[in-house]
Amino acid sequence: MSTTGPAATAGAEPEATPGPGEGSAALPALAAVGLRLRLQRSLERLCDFGAAGLSLAALALIAARLDATWPAEPVLLLGLALPAVGLLVGLLRPVPAQLAARSLDRAMATRDLATSACAFLDIEAGQRSRFMQATIDSARRHLARAEPAQVAPYRRPQRLLLCGGLATVCAALALFEPAPPESPKAPSPRAAPRRGALLHSDDLDAFRRDVDPIASQAQGDPETRALAQELNAIIEAMGEGRLDRAEAMRALRELQRKLEAERGEQEQAALREALAELGRSLDRPGETQEVADAFKSGQAARARESLETLAKELRDKKLSAAHAKQLQKLLERAAKTPEQGRQKELEQKRDELERLLKKKRKQAEASPQEKRLLKKRQRELERLQREAQEMARKNEARRKLDRLRRQLAEAARQLGQNNRQGGSEHLQQGAQQLQGPAGEQLSERQLQQLQQQLEQLRQLLSKQGGQGQQENDSQSKGSGAGKRPGGAGERLTLGRFAGLSRGKSGRPGSKGGEGGKPGESGEGEGEKGTLLMPGKGGKNGSESSLLLPGAQQSDRPGSMTALSPQSGAGEGGTSESGPKATQLDGKRVDTRVQGQQGKGPSRSEVIHESSRRGFASETYRKVHAEYGRHAQSVIERDEIPGGYRFYVRRYFQLIRPREAE
Amino acid sequence: MTTEPSPEEIVADFAAKVGRVREEVARVIVGQRPIIDGVLTCLLAGGHALLEGVPGLGKTALVRALAAALDLRFSRIQFTPDLMPADILGTTMITDDEHGRRSFSFQPGPLFAHIVLADEINRTTPKTQSALLEAMQEHSITVAKITHSLEQPFFVLATQNPLEMEGTYPLPEAQLDRFFFKLHVEFPDHDELHAILDRTTGTQAPEVSPVLGRDDILQMRSTVRQVAVARHVQDFAVSLLEATHRDRPLATALVKRYVRFGASPRGAQACMTAARIRALFDGRFHAAIDDVREVAKAALRHRIILNFEGEAEGITSDQVLDEVLREVPSPG
């Protein structure tokens, strides 16, 4: 029998009947327990809101540390106010009597006595049954013995530790004073290396070799020289690791901007070129010899002066009639504009091509030959369009020359009419067209070269930032001993090759990158249609390897197996895919030579080794220079798609002849 | 002048009477306290009990002992396939009086008793089962257009064997619902087996004396209804019932997957009434959530109808109820 039953209540005095809602008054234990529960809940709320507030404060402090102008104070105040709000909410919100009653029942094992009594207390006294009243009385007697401290002991709030942690974080953030932000500085060659080099020294050498002659050219344009030196400084800084990729790209962008500004001055150069052309037209022994020389010099000021002198002589009738006649003919010849003819020719050709292309496109079916022809025509059209754009770029210079030529033609016409005065005036007006800064002598070729190098460097960096980064990451994690100069682990490979040799590198037999399994084709995909892919060499890396499209080289030292295109993996030195050998009756001994297992050097290493050892001769230099020039001209003629030009340039850069080690 | 007894006295008297019955039954039946309490609960609630267990566990002995402890009329019907309704209800016969005049008179069947043991109820045809179940529900019998009321208390204890299903007529769900409790009679443990052997194989057969009369039982039944039930306890019973229905928010995973129909409202009624009786057994004036928990399985297990998947997977309604009891939260 339960202790809450009549046995426990026998002989008890009848008690006053409490009204509804008097649970706490009728059962004092309920009030005491309720108070403790409220305090406990207030502590919980304090910690809950405190955690939220401290999180907010921590975020505000972080934001303030990152940006000193960020208004942290209001957020901090809010963060500090939140715990107080939580405490108030906990204290002011009453604890339901049922909750306290349930705690009492749980603690005292009274099987819902307190909860039921509490519920019955909410019923009007008159409507309560005798058993309900008996339950209330029983509860009053039993709960009188209850110890609130045992019923509802104070517990550590659940989020107390979290609050402590957050408070520590806030304190640390408050005490932490960030260093003042450094202003970006130009890379100093003497600054200590900060990071790993962005480019391999070999690549840097290649760039340096191309840029150094421009930078050190004594008779060159000082502006160009300065730009070359600046590019050199960036290359050096990249080599020493003083620039990260973003900084390097920024510096290169800035330099390119300067270069483009400098190239803008090339309009002046175009003018000079045109003047020289004009000078050559006037270059006949006689009175115009001096004018022709002045024009040929390309100096607009000198040409103007000479033209003015000629006009003065004409006006002052110092020229004989024969000379005047000769001058008229020369001026007529000079007035003819070769560029106009060229432009007309260009426009005609372009129109013709466009007509042809339209016609061809309308034809639904075309043979492969026709398609090829169509593509060729299309490329030609694109070239013409670019040429037209280039001419437009030189527009200002051309306009000046057009005006000059018009004046010369008019002067020739006046001279033809024996109107020396008129001819003189037009010559004078022609001279006026040449007014304005003649510009400094700039080497456009050098600037072009510089810009090319700059562009190549930028492309290399951005390629490295893309696929090459993964390669470097994987290799730097796992290569270990697989690093040696030229190894894919630390040097940049051709972007396309890098994609193929991703993560596979290292010393033969050693685990570089992901490591190589015996017989595994480490270089991967054998992509169809890849032209002239540098193969993976043998152990010593002394063999050169230029594979057929899609071919794959084996891992064995010095051996090379040309598999069929699309073949994926290398199969050692023996091709298993070919037909079976003819069974011969003759006695023979089959010897199977087991090559050394392990990974060979990467493709770029092979190229590197080849260019250094195998072909670093004078003949190779000559051949390389010729082929390089041809490649450049092919690129310029747009026979190579835009996306591949980088690879061609890069390839020739990689196979350049090196100095003897 | 008689004063009305106080609740404390009523509850104490109730508990004492139950205690006496338990003692008497315990002379014959070893252990099986939950079954004895369950049967007593059914008796005091005015319901009927279905006892299920393998043969030889003392189901019939328990009922006999209970009937002996209660000073009530007891009859036992062994259900067989050829048993007809008239065999249990009674029939109208032609009788001769002392003057030689013949007349029809109703001869009551074995159902006309206070405690009826319907042994192996699932062995008889549905026709006869229906006749019994009508009497259980209506507490009256109609024969030849004449309705005969059954004397209170009318308490049917049916037994069935869950193993031998061949040639049986399982009770339809609607008829199972008429039983207040379905009690599983468990196999006795080691010590209990020893005690059973000691009592039944010796020279002295234990005897049970009647300790409660018909009036006592009727009075106790009225006491049951006075037990106070707080709203939160009733809430819990309602939640339990709802949780057995797959379309209700409280439905558990097993219910959603394996239950075709949940328990009927009779299940909740049975839970609450049984909880009240448990409170009185415990000497309390109020029913508690734990009382509901204790009686829930006996009150609801035969009211839950599993779907084909549940039957095929061998899921029992007890498993479903265990999960329901585990997952339904206490109110508040």
E strand spans, chain B: 49-52, 70-71, 74-78, 90-96, 102-108, 115-119, 140-143, 146-149, 155-160, 181-184, 212-213, 228-229, 259-261, 286-287, 305-306
Chain B residues with CB-CB distance to A111 below 8 A:
282, 284, 288, 290-291
Tokens standing for residue A268: 């002046």
DSSP one-letter code for A613: I
User: Is A136:A117 a contact under the CB 8 Å cutoff?
Assistant: yes
ipTM of this predicted structure: 0.83
- How are beta strands A512-513 and B102-108 bridged, if at all? unpaired
Number of H-type helices and E-type strands within chain A: 26, 2
Q: What is the pLDDT of residue A72?
A: 78
Separation in Å, CA of A127 to nearest CA in chain B: 12
At position B106, the amino acid (one-letter code) is F
Residue A455 or residue B43, greater confidence? B43
Distance of CA A406 to the CA centre of its chain: 51
| Average pLDDT across chain A, whole number | 67
Residue A362 half-sphere exposure, CB side, CA atoms within 13 Å? Answer: 6
Separation in Å, CA of B18 to nearest CA in chain A: 12
Does B233 contact A at CB distance below 8 Å? yes
Q: Is the pLDDT of residue A180 over 70?
A: no
Q: Which of B230, B285, B290 sits opposite A134 (nearest CB)?
A: B285
CA A126 → CA A129, A130, A396, A628, B230, distances in Å? 8, 10, 110, 112, 16
pLDDT class for B233, splitting at 50, 70, 90? very high
Does A113 contact B at CB distance below 8 Å? yes
Residue in chain A closest to B293 (alpha carbons) equals: A111
Domain-located, residue B177: yes
CA distance linking residue A163 with residue B308, whole number of Å = 54
**Cβ–Cβ below 8 Å for B282 and A113:** no
CA distance linking residue B31 with residue B192, whole number of Å = 6
Q: What is the pLDDT of residue A576?
A: 44
CA distance linking residue A132 with residue B208, whole number of Å = 37
Lowest mean pLDDT among A92-96, A604-608, B39-43: A604-608
CA distance linking residue B210 with residue B66, whole number of Å = 9
Domain-located, residue B195: no
Q: Region of B194 please: left (phi>0), alpha (psi -120 to 50) or beta.
A: alpha
pLDDT digits (tens, 9 = 90+) for B287-307: 999 999 999 999 999 999 888
Chain A residues with CB-CB distance to B230 below 8 A:
112, 115-116, 119-120
Q: Is the pLDDT of residue A511 over 80?
A: no
Q: Region of A109 please: left (phi>0), alpha (psi -120 to 50) or beta.
A: left
CA distance linking residue B233 with residue B288, whole number of Å = 6
Does B12 contact A at CB distance below 8 Å? yes
CA A239 → CA A200, B131, B150, distances in Å? 7, 104, 110
**In sequence order, what are the residues at sequence separation of 6 or more whose Cβ sits closer than 8 angstroms to the Cβ of residue B275?**
B229, B233, B237, B287, B288, B291, B292, B294, B295
Rounded (5°) CA angle A378-A380-A384: 115
Q: What is the pLDDT of residue A458?
A: 78
- Let me know whether B28 and B165 are in one domain: yes
Residue A576 half-sphere exposure, CB side, CA atoms within 13 Å? Answer: 6
pLDDT digits (tens, 9 = 90+) for A225-276: 788 888 888 888 877 777 777 788 888 888 887 777 766 665 666 667 777 7
Lowest mean pLDDT among A94-98, A505-509, B93-97: A505-509
| Chosen domain end from B198, B226, B254 | B226
User: Is B74:B67 a contact under the CB 8 Å cutoff?
Assistant: yes
Does B286 contact A at CB distance below 8 Å? yes
CA distance linking residue B298 with residue B181, whole number of Å = 5
Q: Is the pLDDT of residue A8 over 50?
A: no
Q: Is the pLDDT of residue A494 over 50?
A: no
User: Is B196:B62 a contact under the CB 8 Å cutoff?
Assistant: no
B17, containing H or E segment: helix B7-28
Chain B residues with CB-CB distance to A138 below 8 A:
284-285
CA distance linking residue A405 with residue A415, whole number of Å = 15
CA distance linking residue A245 with residue A465, whole number of Å = 8
Q: Helix, strand or coil for residue A256?
A: helix
- Let me know whether B52 and B70 are in one domain: yes
Domain-located, residue B203: no
Q: Which of A5, A102, A120 sits opposite B11 (nearest CB)?
A: A5
Domain-located, residue B173: yes
Q: What percent of chain A is predicted at pLDDT more than 90?
A: 0
- Radius of gyration, CA atoms only, chain A: 46
- Let me know whether B221 and B249 are in one domain: no
Which three-class secondary structure string do you get for A196-229? CCCCCHHHHHHHHHHHHHHHHCCCCCHHHHHHHH
Q: What percent of chain B is predicted at pLDDT more than 70?
A: 98
Q: What percent of chain A is predicted at pLDDT more than 70?
A: 59
| Chosen domain end from B201, B226, B251 | B226
Number of H-type helices and E-type strands within chain B: 14, 15
Residue A3 CB neighbours (<10 A)? 16
Q: Helix, strand or coil for residue A25?
A: helix
Residue A362 or residue A621, greater confidence? A621
The average pLDDT across A458-475 equals 56
Domain-located, residue B199: no
User: Is A72:A42 a contact under the CB 8 Å cutoff?
Assistant: no
- Let me know whether B89 and B27 are in one domain: yes
Q: What is the pLDDT of residue B289?
A: 92
Domain boundaries, position B252: 228-332
Q: Which of B231, B282, B291 sits opposite A5 (nearest CB)?
A: B282
Chain B residues with CB-CB distance to A132 below 8 A:
228, 285-286
Counting one residue from chain A and one from chain B, the pairs whose CB atoms sit within 8 A come to 92
Q: Is the pLDDT of residue B274 over 90?
A: yes
A512, containing H or E segment: strand A512-513
Q: What is the pLDDT of residue A548?
A: 36
The average pLDDT across B280-292 equals 91
Q: Is the pLDDT of residue A79 over 50?
A: yes
Domain-located, residue B19: yes
| Average pLDDT across chain B, whole number | 87
Residue B51 or residue A635, greater confidence? B51
Buried b (16+ CB within 10 A) or exposed e, B184-205: bbeebeeeeeeebeeeeeeeee
Number of independent structural domains in chain B = 2
Q: What is the pLDDT of residue A527?
A: 37
Q: What is the pLDDT of residue B191?
A: 84
The average pLDDT across A48-68 equals 85
Residue in chain A closest to B5 (alpha carbons) equals: A130
Rounded (5°) CA angle A141-A143-A148: 150
Lowest mean pLDDT among A309-313, A326-330, A485-489: A485-489
User: Is A231:A450 a contact under the CB 8 Å cutoff?
Assistant: yes
Q: List A residues 137-176 in contact with B (Cβ-Cβ < 8 A).
A: 138
Helix, strand, coil fractions of chain B, as percent rounded to 5 = 50, 20, 35
Q: Among the residues of A464-511, which ranges form H helices?
A: 469-478, 495-500
- Let me know whether B129 and B241 are in one domain: no
Chain B residues with CB-CB distance to A9 below 8 A:
8
CA distance linking residue B194 with residue B180, whole number of Å = 32
Tokens standing for residue A507: 């010393």
Q: What is the pLDDT of residue A385?
A: 73
- Let me know whether B181 and B326 are in one domain: no
> Which residue, chain included where needed, has tokens 């006892």?
B51
Lowest mean pLDDT among A532-546, A612-626, B107-121, B305-319: A532-546
The average pLDDT across B141-160 equals 87
Separation in Å, CA of B231 to nearest CA in chain A: 7
User: Is A423:A415 a contact under the CB 8 Å cutoff?
Assistant: yes
- Let me know whether B249 and B261 are in one domain: yes
**Cβ–Cβ below 8 Å for A134 and B227:** no
pLDDT class for B235, splitting at 50, 70, 90? very high
- Let me know whether B75 and B178 are in one domain: yes
pLDDT class for B273, splitting at 50, 70, 90? very high
Q: What is the pLDDT of residue A71?
A: 77
Select the residue from A1, A131, A138, A142 to test the B interface by mutation, using most B Cβ atoms within 10 A: A131
Chain B residues with CB-CB distance to A7 below 8 A:
12, 283
Length of chain B: 332
Q: Is the pLDDT of residue A114 over 80?
A: yes
Q: What is the pLDDT of residue B300?
A: 93
Distance of CA B165 to the CA centre of its chain: 22
Domain-located, residue B200: no
Tokens standing for residue A659: 């100095």
User: Is B106:B143 a contact under the CB 8 Å cutoff?
Assistant: yes
Q: Both ends of chain B: CA-CA distance in Å?
A: 46
Separation in Å, CA of A2 to nearest CA in chain B: 6
- Let me know whether B221 and B259 are in one domain: no
Distance of CA A397 to the CA centre of its chain: 37
pLDDT class for B318, splitting at 50, 70, 90? very high
- Let me know whether B165 and B253 are in one domain: no
**In sequence order, what are the residues at sequence separation of 6 or more whose Cβ sits closer than 8 angstroms to the Cβ of residue A101?**
A23, A27, A30, A114, A115, A117, A118
**Cβ–Cβ below 8 Å for B7 and A4:** no
Residue in chain A closest to B287 (alpha carbons) equals: A112
Lowest mean pLDDT among A119-133, A195-209, B124-138, B245-259: A195-209
- Let me know whether B5 and B108 are in one domain: yes
Residue in chain A closest to B13 (alpha carbons) equals: A6
Domain-located, residue B148: yes
Chain B residues with CB-CB distance to A2 below 8 A:
282-284
Which three-class secondary structure string do you get for A376-402? HHHHHHHHHHHHHHHHHHCHHHHHHHH
pLDDT digits (tens, 9 = 90+) for A277-316: 777 777 777 667 777 777 777 767 777 787 788 777 777 7
A93, containing H or E segment: none
Does B15 contact A at CB distance below 8 Å? yes
Select the residue from B286, B291, B293, B294 to test the A interface by mutation, using most A Cβ atoms within 10 A: B286
- CATH code, domain with B315: 1.10.8.80
Q: Is the pLDDT of residue B319 over 70?
A: yes
Distance of CA B239 to the CA centre of its chain: 23
- Let me know whether B219 and B259 are in one domain: no
Select the residue from A15, A95, A110, A111 to test the B interface by mutation, using most B Cβ atoms within 10 A: A111
pLDDT digits (tens, 9 = 90+) for A23-37: 556 677 788 888 888
Q: Is the pLDDT of residue A489 over 60?
A: no
CA A461 → CA A239, A250, A256, distances in Å? 12, 11, 15
CA distance linking residue A456 with residue A204, whole number of Å = 12
| Chosen domain end from B226, B245, B275 | B226
Report the candidate in A191, A198, A197, A232 with the shortest Cα–Cα distance to residue A213.
A232
DSSP one-letter code for B142: E
- CATH code, domain with B45: 3.40.50.300
Lowest mean pLDDT among A215-224, B70-79, B194-203: A215-224
Residue A167 CB neighbours (<10 A)? 15
The average pLDDT across A433-462 equals 66
